[in-house]
Amino acid sequence: MTADRSVLQSNYPPGDLAIWIFILAELTVFAVFFAAYAFTRLQHVELFNEYQLTLDREAALINTLALITSSYFVVRAVSAIKVDDRRRCVHWLLAAISMGLLFLIVKTFEYVHHYSEGINLSSNTFYMFYLSLTFFHFMHVIMGMVILAAIAVMAARGKYSRQEHTGIESGASYWHMVDLVWLILFPLVYVMR
């Protein structure tokens, strides 16, 4: 294991370094948001515990599975291009995008439900955090899907190959970041109490 690892090792993460700097900056914003949630909860434990129960945990589970699956598909897309299998690569990317779409649909249903109950940012501190955090993440899912769609188009046009696939790796890294954020957001906002 150590032997074949050393062959693969490099000093830089996959994809363009610029996207990584961007990813780090974005992750920082989320980290601050998470910490703010946790410490604000400290001041309103009962309120947070009470209103957390009004969230739709099934929907959140479906969305977690959707994002993990979609991330996995993206990993497969990168593997495919590394063996010059462009067709597969495009297929995996499209599958990943459709998982993203599933996420958006489920989340939209959640929002519609809250909206119909008259809940908004000013309802209380818990909903303020819940809506802000998930909506900020929601925007990232959209952004990530746009990036995935762009690299899918480029891949279909034959822009990537075994030798040159930095673009795909950059987009993949961004998408994994979107997944990564949700993996913390889900237990923090929906489960931990």
Partner 1 sequence: MQYQSQAVAKPYFIAAIALFVAQVLFGLIMGLQYVVGDFLFPEIPFNVARMVHTNALIVWLLMAFMGASYYLVPEEAETELYSPALATLMFWVFLVAAALTVAGYLLLSYSTLAEITMNKLLPTMGREFLEQPTITKIGIVIVALAFLFNVGMTILRGRKTVINLVLLLGLTGLAVFFLFAFYNPVNLVLDKYFWWWVVHLWVEGVWELILGAILAFVLVKTTGVDREVIEKWLYVIIAMTLITGIVGTGHHYYWIGTPEYWQWWGSIFSAMEPIPFFMMTVFAFNVVNKRRRDHPNKPAMLWALGTAVMAFLGAGVWGFLHTLSPVNYYTHGSQITAAHGHMAFYGAYVMINITIISYAMPLLRGRNAANSAKSQIWEMWSFWLMTISMVFITLFLTGAGILQAYLQRMGENPQPFMVVQEHISLFYWLREIAGVIFLIGLVVYIASFFVGQNDPEATTAN
Partner 2 sequence: MKRLSELLGIRPCTLIYLLLISFSLTTFLVAKMGFSGLGLSLMVLFLALIKGQLVGSYFMGLGRVRGIWRWPVFIWLFIPGILIGMAFYLSYP
Note the residues at the interface with partner 2 (CB under 8 A).
1, 5, 8-14, 20, 24, 27-28, 31, 34-35, 38-39, 41-42, 45, 49, 57, 60-61, 64-65, 68-69, 71-72, 74-76, 79, 169, 173, 176-177, 179-180, 183-184, 186-188, 190-193
Q: Which does 161 bind (CB under 5 to 8 A by kind): partner 2, partner 1, none?
A: none
Q: How many CB atoms lie within 10 A of CB 147?
A: 19
CB of 24 to partner 2, least distance (A): 6
Nearer to partner 1, 52 or 123 (CB): 123
Q: Do 37 and 191 form a contact (C-beta atoms < 8 A)? A: no
The type of residue at 176 is: H
Give the pair of three-digit tokens for residue 145.
């899907």
Nearer to partner 2, 46 or 116 (CB): 46
For residue 1, the number of C-alpha atoms closer than 13 Å in the C-beta half-sphere is 0
Q: Which of 123, 119, 147, 115 is nearest to 26 (CA)?
A: 147
CB of 80 to partner 2, least distance (A): 12
For 115, phi and psi rounded to 5 degrees? -60, -40
Which residues of this protein are in contact with partner 1, per CB under 8 A?
16, 18-19, 21-22, 25-26, 28-29, 32-33, 36, 121-122, 128-129, 132
Distance CA 186, CA 151 (A): 28
Helix (H) or strand (E) holding 117: none
Q: Which does 165 bind (CB under 5 to 8 A by kind): partner 1, partner 2, none?
A: none
